[in-house]
Structure 1
């Protein structure tokens, strides 16, 4: 379950309602962008992990061929 940000006001004062609306809209904006960023990071990690391992393996000593890196033996 995701936690939900809730801003509560005390009393009947209408002076703080505009500030509360702005703070809640900022919280929603941050939540949307963080969710978007995490989705993009997940995709980048998913498709970039194996190529990263191959690049690291190709630059190590002794330099193996691509076939040696990809073969299970």
Structure 2
């Protein structure tokens, strides 16, 4: 389910040249965008950390086997 970002303001339509509502809509857009970005970064970090560690471990100098990387001992 993709989130849709809209710059439309709710409520009464502001008069033309109203700078306060324009700044508010931009601030709302930035807030929604940063929230969406942080949610996606959390998911990427959650599912990507262990594979990243395994890949880095496989490319280290003593070249361990995959079973050695995954075993707790």
Specify the SS of the correspondent of 1:61: coil
The aligned length equals 58
Shift of 1:61: 1.0
Pairing 1:52–2:52 present: yes
Q: Which of 1 and 2 has greater Rg?
A: 1
Instruction: Select the structure with the greater relative contact order (CA < 8 A; seq sep ≥ 6).
Output: 2
Calculate the TM-score normalised by the size of structure 2.
0.76
**Unmatched 5+ residue regions in structure 2?**
1-14
Calculate the TM-score normalised by the size of structure 1.
0.76
**Unmatched 5+ residue regions in structure 1?**
1-14
- Distance across 2 between alignment mates of 1:46 and 1:18: 43
- Aligned CA RMSD, in angstroms, stands at 1.4
